[in-house]
Amino acid sequence: MEATLTATRREIVVRGFFWALLVAVSLMTAYFVTIGGPTKESDKQHGTADVQQQITQYKAALASNPNDLQSLIALGDLYLNTNNVRDAYQTFQRAVKVDPNNTHVLNDLGSIYQQIGNYDQALASYEKAYRLDPSHSSSLLSAAMIYSRHKEDKARALQLLEEFLGSNPEPQQAANAKQEIVRIKQELQNSGK
């Protein structure tokens, strides 16, 4: 009889342990799903520190070689990625003086001009980037969006969007272009044009 009671107690302890383990795992899962885990904020701070360290490194490289195009581009991209438009603009202005025909620089300048509402300069940058390198078709999409939404030149926007779709773009960009074409056509239809 005592052996049966011992087995039963063992079973109860084992079952209790597994239930406690199941509850603990469930609670930890819920915590990580809702909160994102304890390292989320520290990861952001670490990422910010990494970006600041990279910025410092590129600035140091540019101090010794102010015309290092790759460092200028990398620094400008870091500024853009951190929404530091003013420093990005100044950096890409330096880069365009080093290489006025660099499509990366022209496209990023176009993006900056677009962000600050200087649509004519943005279009000039995007169109020059595309003329220099027709494989750089994202410039077409950006220019089309300006024509569509800020210049009210729907015909030019449609022309650029169709040209963009003919360049075999990435699926997400193609979907964005198709969605914009539908929007423009609906807008034209609603206005009776």
Output the CATH code of domain 105-193: 1.25.40.10
Q: What are all long-range contacts of 145-152, with beta carbons under 8 Å and residues at least 24 apart?
A: 145/180, 146/114, 146/119, 146/122, 147/123, 148/180, 148/183, 148/184, 150/119, 151/119, 151/123
d(C-alpha 138, C-alpha 164), whole Å: 8
Instruction: Report which of residues 124 and 168 the model is more confident about.
Output: 124
Please indicate, yes or no, whether the overall pTM of this predicted structure exceeds 0.75: no
Per-residue pLDDT tens digits for 172-193:
999 999 999 999 999 999 887 6
Residue 166 pLDDT > 70: yes
CATH of 46-100, one of 1.20.1560.10, 3.40.50.2300, 1.10.10.10, 1.25.40.10: 1.25.40.10
Per-residue pLDDT tens digits for 4-59:
555 576 667 656 555 655 555 555 554 444 445 454 454 455 567 788 999 999 99
Residue 137 pLDDT > 70: yes
